[in-house]
Amino acid sequence: MPFAETSAMDLRVQFVAACLAGEETMTELCALYGISRKTGYKWLSRYRSEGPSGLEERSRAPLHPGWSIEDEIAARLTEVRRAHPFWGPRKVLGYLRARDPSIAWPAASTVGDLFRREGLSEPRRRRRSRAPVGESPLTPSDEPNRVWCADFKGWFRTQDNTRCDPLTVTDNHSRYLLACEIVAPTGAGVRPVLDRLFREHGLPEVFRTDNGTPFAAPMGVAGLGRLSVELIKLGIKVEWIEPGCPQQNGRHERMHRTLKAETARPPAATVADQQVRFDRFRASFNDERPHEALGQVPPATLWRPSPRVYPDHLLEPWYDPDHAVRRVRSDGSIKWAGAFVFVSEALVGELVGIMETESGDWIVKFFDIKLGVIDQANRKLRRFAPPRPGRRKAEQTQNTVTHVAGQ
């Protein structure tokens, strides 16, 4: 004969019957049935108020789920998400709160659940974040126009097989995207864009780039190229990140990741169509898209033009009276002690200063940038290593990575 099975409902009925019989205490009965006193009193109370139906199993779901959203609010959330499919729950909420702060919007996790139920999001692999290593030697960007960053987003081809090189310029503090334009990756391509930005928005204090052309000349003296020389003569600090360390320009690189995802997957049919995408992205990025690091407000709320206006003429270097001054000849050399010493083709036509040290060496400078030491034996310039942020502090003191024209 098989063992008889007893359901949970049967046990509850037996427990309540034993309680009503009053032959044993509540403590003894709860111990016998393997339940807590709280559970025992709960079953007895339900039976007295509802009868046997009160002992039936009930759903454990809350009466008012925390993830429930009113239909009207859910519709507004999904509408913004569909219009901006790359915005996460926090950005969608930041966008809507700015436009209607009177509404009690749900939590970001609740909005994320809503997007998943509506098929508007997909799980993605979490990126590992690296802990910062030491203090950054780069100029801190604690206000707008303290530091501008520029770079070329990696080139790609549009659908008609035309090469596309997007030049991007941002204000590092506000994340404001000043320019996103397809130009040739040369000084001639970059110069008109920068000239227009400086005239429209004023001058930054620091202009930060990587070490590639046309922003720098890795093989040139002190890393100077013609474009960086022109920036210095505008009174702008020139600052380069450490080679192979794009994280030192991390805010700009993060913008590039968003730019690629929203405008180039897949690329547009033509370069003109791709530029239209870039223009739309820039407008949305600056004026609509909330930025988490800015407290979920768009960059335009923090950005303001620079008070440093474009000068009427470029600065000329000034040197102390104890410096000998030479103008760089058309072949990049200067005449010194009856011989010609090659300095740099990037400095053709510019004035350099020559300073004698206590040891008897002659150091060649452009503004306050030390270019190298004249070798007295063979009349050549022994170059200093290009200034880089990651070098030792003493080395940075000797040949600083930044420069202020006129100081």
DSSP letter string over 321-373? Answer: TTSEEEEPPTTSEEEETTEEEE--GGGTT-EEEEEE-TTS-EEEEETTEEEEE
**Structural domain count of the chain:** 4
What is the amino acid identity at position 319? Y
Cα atoms found within 13 Å of the Cα of residue 73, Cβ hemisphere only: 18
Residue 390's SS3 state is: coil
- Residue 292 sits in a domain whose CATH number is 3.30.420.10
Question: Do 259 and 353 share a domain, yes or no?
Answer: no
Question: Do 283 and 381 share a domain, yes or no?
Answer: no
Predicted pLDDT of residue 406 = 36
* Average pLDDT value for the chain: 86
**To 10 degrees, what angle do helices 271-287 and 250-263 make?**
120
Question: Do 234 and 274 share a domain, yes or no?
Answer: yes
- Residue 19 Cα to chain centre, angstroms: 67
Residue 314 lies in a domain: no
Q: What is the pLDDT of residues 183-198, one digit of tens each?
A: 999 999 999 999 999 9
Predicted pLDDT of residue 160 = 96
Residue 280 lies in a domain: yes
Mean pLDDT of the 54-75 span: 76
Q: How far apart are CA 320 and CA 304, in angstroms?
A: 37
Q: How far apart are CA 313 and CA 353, in angstroms?
A: 21
Is the distance from CB of 169 to CB of 150 less than 8 angstroms? yes
Residue 270 lies in a domain: yes
Sequence-separated (6 or more) residues with CB below 8 Å from residue 221 = 343, 344, 346, 347, 371, 372, 381, 383
Residue 81's SS3 state is: helix
Which among 257, 254, 245, 225 has a CA at the least distance from the CA of 344? 225
Residue 82 lies in a domain: yes
Question: Do 152 and 294 share a domain, yes or no?
Answer: yes
Per-residue pLDDT at 182 exceeds 50: yes
Sequence-separated (6 or more) residues with CB below 8 Å from residue 404 = 235, 237, 368
Predicted pLDDT of residue 396 = 41
Q: What is the pLDDT of residues 81-108, one digit of tens each?
A: 999 888 989 999 999 998 998 998 998 8
